[in-house]
Amino acid sequence: MMKDIVKILMPVMLLLGTAAFSLAAQDNKGKEDKTNLNTIQEIQGEVSAVDKHGIAVVYKTDAKGVEQEVYIPLEKENIKMSHKRDIEDIQVGDTVKVEYETTMEKGKRSSVKATIVTFLKRPQKKPAAPELVEPEEPEESELPFKGIQE
C-alpha cells in the first residue's frame, strides 16, 4: 500500500517541482530584460582614423598581420582629453587609450560613446629605405675573359 502511494506521489512531485523552477526562471529573465546596464571599458592602440564623429583604433595585430580594429563614436562636447587639448590634435599613427561607456538595454548593446581619450605617444619614425642602385653593365671590351676563338 505504501509503495503504491509513493509510486503515485513521486511523479506528481517531480512535475510540480519542474513547473516551479520554470516559473522562477521566467521571472528572473523578465527582470534582466528590463534593466539597463552601463559599463566603462578601455582600449589602447594605434589610431587608424580620426574625425569629428569618432576615432578608429587598431588594438591587436596577429602573427599573420591581420588587424583588429574598433570604431568608437565621439561627442565632442562631452569628451575629456588627456595630454592634448582637442581631438583635432590626435593624428593617424598616434598611440592612444580610449575609455568608453557601453549602454546595454534589454540584454543588447544599444550605444557606445567615448568619454576620455588619453594621448600616449607619437608614431615611431621609420628609417628611410636606401635607394636601389642599378649595377652598370660593363662594355664588351671590359669583360675579363675572351670569347671563343675559331
CB under 8 Å to 88, separation ≥6 — which residues?
Answer: none
Per-residue pLDDT 10s for the chain (150 aa) are 767 776 776 776 776 677 677 777 776 555 554 567 888 889 999 999 998 889 999 998 888 888 889 999 988 788 888 888 888 888 899 999 999 988 887 767 678 888 888 889 888 776 666 777 777 766 666 556 666 666
**Domain 35-121 belongs to what topology?**
OB fold (Dihydrolipoamide Acetyltransferase, E2P) (2.40.50)
Query: CA 68 to CA 44: how far, in whole Å?
Result: 12
Q: Give the pLDDT score at 75.
A: 84
SS (H, E, C) the chain: CHHHHHHHHHHHHHHHHHHHHHHHHHHHHHHHHHCEEEEEEEEEEEEEEECCCEEEEEEEECCCCCEEEEEEECCHHHCEEECCCCHHHCCCCCEEEEEEEEEEECCEEEEEEEEEEEEEECCCCCCCCCCCCCCCCCCHHHCCCCCCCC
